[in-house]
Structure 1
Amino acid sequence: MKAFVSYSHRDTWALERLKAHTSTLRRDGLIETWSDLEIPPGGEIDEHVADALAQCDLFIPLISADFLNSFYCYEIELARAIDRYDRGEIQIVPVVVEPCDWKGPLRRFKALPKDGKPITEFTNQNTAFLDVSAGLRTICEAGLARPLPMATPKGDAPKQDPSSSQRKYRLKKTFDAIDRSDFVSEGFDVVRSYFEHAIAEINDVEGLKGRFRAMSDRAFTCTVTNAHHQRGTANITVHSGSANRMLGDIYWSFNPDASDNTANGSFNVGNDDYELFWTDRDFSRGGGREDAEHLTAREAAERLWNRFVEQAGISYAGDDQD
């Protein structure tokens, strides 16, 4: 299917992630995506857009406040696409990028990700794009079809994440045993919360299942299955280092319900003159070589999650994660 992707240039990042996550669809010959990035230098924009809209089978608007605010995206590209849809010529599948009031003409169409949940509200945005890719695969494999009933978007309130324009200062500090202990506890809580939410999100992706179970206040275990992969099962158990300090401050084993005396790797607390941070130690590499990279708890959680789901044949296209 030929797909026309309509987007605000402020959302170019979303276009690039969509292209990365639909790469297998293109290799399988199921989809051919077009956006204005395909217009050559010196090309007449209106002419190229009109031609691409006239030839497409699928119209994919990347919905955000900037898309809705764009005259060209909303009044020209979307209007022409709806006109073709009303004539039964194309299918329209909105992809909701961020919370916004899109309850205008687009409310007629079922959106991706599932239930119209904005991509920016996912704990791991790759999971959102994976859901989008799975939905587009279903559409492309089925061929041109009328859309399903519209989905009502959830959580339209925008996130408040104001950036400060004030000058930032760093102060040298010393860190005692209590500081480090609190840092470990808070870091484990971040990792546990990340996995719990990511498991819930992955359950919404067709063909994937996940289970999270708390073993104690300081340990949890997870399983993910991938019906599309022959060896599509991944397990992990994560412990806080309070159980066994010799293995690390937060350590994990790629086994279900693993005991607290075994590990495949760990995150350990480090510090410089200014802050505490996390370092990554993979026991499978060089006998437990520790990376020099300084990680936040969320970065550590995402890195571990990606390693975990890779065992089930799940990867996030275009990621720089190791």
Structure 2
Amino acid sequence: MERSNIRDRLIVRKRHEGLIESWHDRRIVAGARLDAEIDQQIKAADVILLLVRSSFLASRYCYTIEMTRALERHRAGEAHVVPVIVRGCDWQSTPLGELLAVPKDGKAITSWPNYDEAYADVARQIRRLVQSRQPHVQVKPQAAPPGAPLSAPVVEVVKTAPRSSNLRLKKEFSELDRDEFLHQTFSFIARFFETSLQELQARNPGVHGQFRLIDANTFTAAIYQHGKRACECSVHLGAGGFRGNGIAYSNDASSRGNSYNELVTVESDDQAMFLRPMGMATFGERQTLTQEGAAELFWGMLIRPLQH
């Protein structure tokens, strides 16, 4: 990753009045000394969030310089470094492996079925961290007293009681939850294919994408190159056994789930639902996927003949 793209790091700093102020390198003004500005912010920060993915680990500047400076302050007790795992990568073998990462259990944000839930978990954990650094007060908005200027900030400082941060409970998912998640996933994949075909056609002269929604449970897609059909597929909801709890992909546009090249089904752990492919298209590799991950898996199977 080039130095101009070192936005994979976010530094959060508390104001004296108890609010949170965020900083990142996009706030550096033109003409400023990049290294000096970043170093100054790292030295001033109370909480430093490292947005971790493979490009972060591969960046000499991010990994060797920024992360090293941040960890030095963390070990000295001057700041608190939190790895935010954005995409799956081998971060556990780095010095960051010694720290408790977010979201929960260091599970990459892109591996969550719902990205909003992942970011909400990050926000909750960062809020607890900030509050723990100021455990005796919190800022609470109050109505302005009579006669006070409307622009005058009015706050009330109240005591906060200590409590455990270990409040996570096991979640149970019903058949209705799973069925709704499966239907939402099919709708997401259909929209993903339709817009991807439109963009593919716009970017490549001589290429035409065709999307057809057959019914509520099936759509087909085809890609034509100079008028000749290069590849096609069908995606069908309700495949995978007598319960029909899967979404099937077939290289045959006429298939309706009776035969397929790949199948994703809904599974869950004690916190979230996710998608699991059978691995037929990836040589038996069964991975955990979000809705976007499943859509990318199917799309990659469709477009592969045009990329090799």
* TM-score (normalizing by structure 2): 0.45
**Structure having the higher Rg:** 2
Higher relative contact order (CA 8 A, sep 6+): 1
More strand by share: 2
